[in-house]
Amino acid sequence: MSERSGGPLDGVLVIDLSRALAGPHAGMMLGDLGARVIKVESPVTGDDTRSWGPPFVGPEGDPQATYFLSCNRNKESIALDLKSADGRAVLDGLLDRADVVVENFRTGVMDRLGYSTTALLERNPRLVVLSITGFGHDGPEGGRAGYDQIAQGEAGLMSLTGSGPDDVQRVGVPIADLLSGMYGASGVLAALLERERTGRGQVVRTSLLAATIGVHAFQGTRQTVAGEVPQAQGNHHPSIAPYGLFRTRDGAVQISVANDSLWRRFCAAFGLDPDAEGLATNAERVSNRERTIAVVEAAFAERSSADLLVDLTASGIPAGRVRTLDEVYAWDQVASQKLLIDVKHPVLGDIRLPGMPLRFFDVDDAGEYETTRTTHLSPPLLDGDGAAIRSWLGEKAA
């Protein structure tokens, strides 16, 4: 049995039947919040991501995929053959005690296994079932397999990303998977809250398609309201200027001049005319984007990026650099926000993982104090907790 360590979901039991990334990310988020998450994996091979690499780390005879490590912290693992009597009996015992089930099988797979949503809620009426699919559980393409890059393309995100319309690119992380996991976890929290009022669980559904369309934001309303078809245009904002990545003498910096007041402040700092024809308002600067970029880069041409960032900050202009990931994880601001956690892995020993992006605080007469989960479980070995979980089920049944 794993040590509990607090958090808002302490006492909530999550059975994670999912694999790959979308469902496991949702399960990890719930674990970060304090839930006990039991990951059910296939015997022998386990989750698909255990074989996704390189990179692999650890001893030659027991390599560990860094992909798996990225989305399975704060979980326990049990290997079950769900087509066997024993596997089903153990899963049934877990379902009877669970608060949440997470699954991301293709539409119909859970039904064929005998675990349709109807069957799950008949078995445990308080259960919240999160189901993540590629393109939705119903509709003309409801049974279609979903993989992140395909979803990025089908949901239009790739058409917005890249240097231009003829150079579309996927986002550098599997964002459709991650977003569906995030939306799914949010839906679970809402369903748990509603259960407090009704006493009943429910089914929460999302998909890679839905989650990606859910973050179209202003690009979506450009199409649905204004009738425009947005296209990729590189590192500059389609509705604000100057806002993007600008070349300097030795590299580049990013600035966000998001209103006309900031534009006037920017011009004062760099000796530019804020009322120059065609540049006085944001709408004009967007319409004359290439000229705006040229004006800014001319002002930056003889300056180093480091000096520019100092001056931009002193002038109150939002600015920044583009960091590599090694620079990000070495940044003291990242450490101050507790975005790195240290765990002890049974094979790898002490390892450092990216941490959760939420913190929780309480306030009493003595002031504010943090209540965020402080101790974390390393991503588990396949069936690493199987014996303990079976023992716990036996104790509960006794």
- Nearest Cα residue to 103 out of 17, 203, 205, 41: 17
* Strand residue runs (E) in 240-307: 243-247, 252-256
Query: CA separation (Å) from 83 to 78, 80, 86, 367?
Result: 15, 9, 9, 54
The answer to whether 360 and 283 have CB atoms below 8 angstroms apart is no
Q: Which amino acid is at 324?
A: T
Q: What span, in angstroms and rounded, lies between the C-alpha atoms of 272 and 275?
A: 9
Q: What span, in angstroms and rounded, lies between the C-alpha atoms of 398 and 394?
A: 6
Task: Indicate the helix (H) or strand (E) that contains 340.
Answer: strand 340-345
Burial per residue of 214-241, b for 16 or more beta-carbon CB atoms within 10 angstroms, e otherwise: bebeebeebeeeeeeebebbeebbbeeb
Q: What span, in angstroms and rounded, lies between the C-alpha atoms of 255 and 77?
A: 45
The answer to whether 101 and 130 have CB atoms below 8 angstroms apart is yes
How crowded is residue 391: how many other Cβ atoms within 10 Å of its Cβ? 11
Kindly report the backbone phi and psi dihedral angles of residue 194, in degrees, each rounded to the nearest multiple of 5, phi listed first.
-65, -35
Give me the active site residues, please. 177
Burial per residue of 145-176, b for 16 or more beta-carbon CB atoms within 10 angstroms, e otherwise: ebebebbbebbbbbbbbbeeeeebebbeebbb
Full DSSP string of 65-112: EHHHHHS-TT-EEEE--TTSHHHHHHHHHHHHH-SEEEE-PPTTHHHH
Q: What span, in angstroms and rounded, lies between the C-alpha atoms of 241 and 254?
A: 12
Kindly report the backbone phi and psi dihedral angles of residue 358, in degrees, each rounded to the nearest multiple of 5, phi listed first.
-125, 145
SS3 264: helix
Query: CA separation (Å) from 341 to 1, 4, 174, 337?
Result: 21, 16, 22, 11
